[in-house]
Amino acid sequence: MSWTALLLLAAAAWAMKAAGPLVLGGRTLRPDVEAALGLVPVALLGALILVQTVDGGERLVLDARVPALGVAALLVWRRAPFLVVVLVAAATAATLRAIA
Amino acid sequence: MRRPDPVLRAALAIGLATGAYAVSYGVLAVAAGLSVAQTCAMSALVFTGASQFAVIGVLGAGGSAAAALAPALLLAARNGLYGLALAPVLRGGRLRRGVEAQLVIDESTAMARAQADPHGAHRAFLLTGLSVFVCWNAGSLAGALAGEGIGDPRALGLDAMFPAAFLALLWPQLRDRATRTAAGVGAAVAVALVPVAPAGLPILAAVLGVLPGLRALRAAAPTDDPADAP
C-alpha cells in the first residue's frame, strides 16, 4: 500500500469523525433533532453487538460467540462488573473452541 | 485506599481488550505487505479498527489499495454518525474539537452515551478514547514487530470480547421504550443485511432504528402544547 493511499484513508476517516463536532459545534439543536441524534448510537451499538456475534463475512454464522454473548447477557443482567463480563465472555468462547 | 471509579476501570478494560486485538492486526498487516511504519501509522492516523482490518484483508487477498479503500471508508462512515451524536459532548474551540474527534470510535461513543450528565460523558469519552488509542497503537507495534507466531485471537475468544463489552455498555441505556426500540430495530436491520450488503453497510443501515425509536418517544412524551401546562 502506498503512503498516499494510507494518508488519503486517514484524512477521510478523520473528516467523517470531525464533521459533526466541527459543523454542529456547541450549537443548541432543536429538541427533536437532539432526541434523534441521541438514539443514533443506541441503534448502531445494538447492531454492532449482534453483527459482531453472527457475522461470518457475507453470511450469518452461529459459533462460540453466540453462547459467549448469552453468558455476557446473563452477567450484565446480574450487574456484574464490566471487566468480569468481558473476560468471562472471552473465556466462554475460548473454552468452547478448545473443546470443539 | 479508594477503589478506582467504574468509568476509569471500564476505560482501562476496553483499552486492554482492544490492545490484545491490535496485536493480531499488527501481525496480519505486516503479513499483508505493509511496512512496520505503515502498520503503526494506520493505527495512529486512521484509528478505526474495522477499517484497518478491511484494508489488510483486501491487500492480503491480493487486492489493490484502491480496492481496499471502499470497504474501509464504508466501515469508517459510522464514526460520522457517532460524531453527530457526540457533537454536544466535545468541548472547546474548533482546534480542540478537531483533535478530540480523532477519538470518536465505537468504544468512546458507547462509554460517553452510558453516562448520565454531560461532564461525565466528556470525561468517559476522553478516558476511553485515550485508553484505546494508547493500547491500540502499542498492540499494533508489538504485533508488527513480532510477526507470525502469535496465536489466533479467536482461540483466546478475543472476538467474543467486543459484543460482550458493547452489550455491557448499551444495557444501562435501554431505560425506556424508545431506546429499546431503536436498539432492537437497528440490530434486526443490520443482521438482515449482513448476507446481502457489503461490510460496513449493515451497521450504517441500523440508523433506521432511530425512526421507530422516535415514534415511541413521541408516544410516551406528553404533548408540549402550552395549554396543557398546569
What is the pLDDT at residue B145? 93
Above 90 in pLDDT, residue B81?
yes
What is the pLDDT at residue B43? 97
Sign of CA dihedral B200, B201, B204, B205: negative
Contacts of B78 in chain A (CB under 8 A): 44
Complex prediction ipTM: 0.93
In angstroms and rounded to an integer, the radius of gyration of the C-alpha atoms of chain B is 19
What is the pLDDT at residue B3? 65
Angle in degrees, CA B188, B193, B197, rounded to 5: 160
What is the pLDDT at residue B5? 87
Q: Kindly report which listed range (B10-24, B35-49, B174-188) carries the lowest average pLDDT score.
A: B10-24
SS (H, E, C) A20-68: HHHHHCCCCCCHHHHHHHHHHHHHHHHHHHHHHHHECCCCECCCCHHHH
Which of B216, B144, B149, B205 minimizes the C-alpha distance to B180?
A: B216
Contacts of B38 in chain A (CB under 8 A): 1, 3, 6
Which of B157, B76, B92 minimizes the C-alpha distance to B125?
A: B92
Q: How far does the CA of residue B97 sit from the closest CA of chain A (Å)? A: 6
Do B79 and A17 count as a contact with CB atoms less than 8 A apart?
yes
Q: What percent of chain B has pLDDT over 90?
A: 70
What is the pLDDT at residue B6? 87
Do B72 and A9 count as a contact with CB atoms less than 8 A apart?
yes
Question: Across residues B155-179, what is the average pLDDT?
Answer: 91
What is the pLDDT at residue B57? 87
Q: How far does the CA of residue B138 sit from the closest CA of chain A (Å)? A: 18
Neighbour-count burial of B57, counting CB atoms closer than 10 A to its CB (0-12 exposed, 13-18 middle, 19+ buried):
middle
Do B210 and A36 count as a contact with CB atoms less than 8 A apart?
yes
Above 50 in pLDDT, residue B83?
yes
Mean pLDDT of chain A: 93
Above 90 in pLDDT, residue B188?
yes
Do B101 and A91 count as a contact with CB atoms less than 8 A apart?
no
Q: Grid coordinates in use for B148?
A: 507470525
Predicted structure pTM score = 0.89
